Structure 1
Amino acid sequence: MSLQSYEGTNTANTRSLLIIGCSQRKRSDPGLLPAIIRYDGPSFLVLRRFLRQCPSKLPPINVCILSAEFGLISQHHLIPYYDRRMTATRAQQLRSGVLAELENVVKSRLYQEIFISIGRDYLQAINGYETILPANLNIRIASGSLGRKLSQLHDWLYGKPPDITCGLPKSLHCHKKNQIRGIKVALTPQQVLDVAYQALQTDDQEFTRFQSWYVDVGTNRVAPKWLVSQLTGLSVRDFTTKEALRLLAQLGIEVKRV
């Protein structure tokens, strides 16, 4: 991972602040690394991918990391490898220092919005943040499961959900292109919904197990992988969410973001 990819972020005109929790998964390189490179959990993979793909995004985003070891630090802060988990007790120990540093950060430039993506214990370390942030600041806090939080982080960074049709052929004739793991699905959109309606009569709530995407089937929101499983007979473990989304797009089924 090249340090130069992240050193050039110009925060002079920053209007957005991202506060992200540190991750248990870290690069084990000896010596010191910038925090944004040392931490290697899913949220940091999403963030680094965004910074690589959109290096000239204006206004730029300032990133602060809430660390169980070091408190609230800049993405450029040099840190060693360590192993420490955030607990409720540790969050209380860090709280006063974290709030003081957060106040310094928001006073350093005119922010318009803050996106906070941290775990439950980490939230205790910033408890009371409302009293130190400007009243006109737009604050968003990611919620739900890890998958939901990653989706919300992605959409906030890019300003939109990912394009699920990326890479699909221009001509999407269901009798030619619609297949997944070697199984062809030649159904019209109405036939797909008919299959879903029938499956809902006997399903035991498996269809509700979605995180980031869903399909409207009457008054129910169903998981895309569940729907594709009903169409193909494949287990949901046999294919990825991305494959399911692409197949449904090819079939003309609208998939919505949570």
Structure 2
Amino acid sequence: MARRLLILTCSARKRADADLLPAQERYDGPLWQVLRSVIREQPLFVGDVDVYVLSAAYGLIPASTMIPTYEQTMTEERAQELHEATIQGFRSLLEAGDYDRCCLGLSQLYLQALDGWEFVTPVGTLVTVAGGPMGEKLSQVKRWLLGAASPPKVPPPARIAAPAQPAGRATVAGVLIERSREEVLAVARAGLAATEAGIQGYRDWYVLVDGQRVAPKWLISKLTGRSTADFSAADARRGLLALGIDVERVCNG
């Protein structure tokens, strides 16, 4: 039977008990109060929900994890530090669990630690990102917990554009890549000219170069010198976006 996955941000407001407490009891911000209220008052609605917390101190952990009280806030630097482990943890959760729906109750800083979640989400999993002012976010999370009708599923984007001012550097499979957009495209053009094996071996996503499709994993493999088995397709796409390269999605129908 399919289950649901809820990921909430940790909160600055915490119970001050000296003893260890489950994260779900330690955090006392509005989102956690709503969660506990629904569990207490309408438990039959949430028997299929697994709850995780994205913590500035501990990363992505089950809400049942016993934790002490602590003081650590999320910053952009901390979000970057947590990103790789967080996205890998999210991917593992979705691969191991039979989740058909997921809700992300995260602030913008915490979402940075989960940047690229759409790349690792199975096609059949509907993800709700609770957003807007806190009151609206609380309402969205409560409705999701109670199984209220969700808005129609938005199809995945057909194209993800790289930032207007890309970082120009990315680390994939432990290798730092520092190339300009033009240099990356030159590598792709050389491979196309030589008709190199695997250059068009993509499944869902590709890079469009002079009207021809190039596999993101092939391109990152050329830039890093690593085998395509050493990194995921999602890692390749994130790396290319950081280098200023747009990625396109195969559209069926």
Range into which the TM-score falls when normalised by the shorter chain: 0.5 to 0.7
**1:143–1:77 CA distance, 2 compared to 1 (3 A):** same
Contact residue 45 and residue 145 of structure 2 kept, 8 A: no
Distance (whole Å) between structure 1 residues aligned to residue 86 and residue 14 of structure 2:
22
Any stretches of 5+ residues in structure 2 without a counterpart?
A: 150-253
Secondary structure of the structure 2 residue equivalent to 1:153? helix
Aligned to 2:26: 38
Higher strand fraction (1 or 2)? 2
Q: Does 2:128 align with 1:128?
A: no
The one-letter amino acid paired with 2:96 is S
Q: 119-128 or 102-111, which moves further after superposition?
A: 102-111
1:20-169 aligned within 5 A: 20-57=8-45, 60-160=48-148
Superposed CA offset, 1:69-123 (max 9, x none): 0000001011110011111111000000111111121122211011111101001
Aligned to 1:181: none
The offset of 1:32, in angstroms, is 0.9
Instruction: Provide TM-score, normalisation by structure 1.
Output: 0.55
CA RMSD of aligned residues (A): 1.5
Q: Would you identify which runs of 4 or more consecutive aligned residues in structure 1 move more than 4 Å?
A: none
Contact residue 14 and residue 61 of structure 1 kept, 8 A: no
Contact residue 34 and residue 78 of structure 1 kept, 8 A: yes
Distance (whole Å) between structure 2 residues aligned to residue 39 and residue 17 of structure 1:
18
Distance (whole Å) between structure 2 residues aligned to residue 57 and residue 14 of structure 1:
14
The offset of 1:53, in angstroms, is 1.5
Contact residue 103 and residue 132 of structure 1 kept, 8 A: yes
Superposed CA offset, 1:19-75 (max 9, x none): 110000000101211000000000000000111112233651001100000000001
Any stretches of 5+ residues in structure 1 without a counterpart?
A: 1-12, 162-258
Q: 14-23 or 56-65, which moves further after superposition?
A: 56-65
The one-letter amino acid paired with 1:147 is G
Distance (whole Å) between structure 1 residues aligned to residue 17 and residue 34 of structure 2:
21
Contact residue 39 and residue 46 of structure 2 kept, 8 A: no
Distance (whole Å) between structure 1 residues aligned to residue 39 and residue 47 of structure 2:
13
Distance (whole Å) between structure 2 residues aligned to residue 81 and residue 58 of structure 1:
26
Distance (whole Å) between structure 2 residues aligned to residue 93 and residue 58 of structure 1:
32
Distance (whole Å) between structure 1 residues aligned to residue 116 and residue 123 of structure 2:
13
Contact residue 32 and residue 78 of structure 1 kept, 8 A: yes
- Percent identity reads 39
Contact residue 14 and residue 59 of structure 1 kept, 8 A: no
Distance (whole Å) between structure 1 residues aligned to residue 25 and residue 47 of structure 2:
22
Distance (whole Å) between structure 1 residues aligned to residue 46 and residue 78 of structure 2:
36
Secondary structure of the structure 1 residue equivalent to 2:70? coil
Instruction: Provide TM-score, normalisation by structure 2.
Output: 0.56
Of structures 1 and 2, the one with the larger relative CO (CA 8 A, separation 6+) is: 2
Distance (whole Å) between structure 2 residues aligned to residue 135 and residue 94 of structure 1:
25
